Amino acid sequence: MKFPREKMDIASVYEGKSPSHGWLVLDISKLELEGVSKLYVSLDEFESLKQNKGKEADALSEAKKLLGG
């Protein structure tokens, strides 16, 4: 599902936590999820996840090279 841009926001603080990149806020209030109206994603965690995925891809590529693939 492509998430509509107008339902996205950035917050600098959530539950007293202020990661350096802030929080991605996804407004899902129109979806019928009991008790859930917004999702908060730490952008610092997102950056860390992206970096780790890059490392995994590099490791996989290196392993393929070593195995002749």
Domain positions in the chain are 5-66
The pLDDT tens digits for 30-50 are: 877 777 788 888 888 877 777
**Taking residues 54-59, what's their average pLDDT?**
68
**What pLDDT does residue 57 have?**
66
Break the chain down into helix, strand, coil percent, rounded to 5.
40, 25, 40
Hey, is 52 helix, strand or coil? helix
What are 17-28's pLDDT values in tens digits? 888 888 889 898
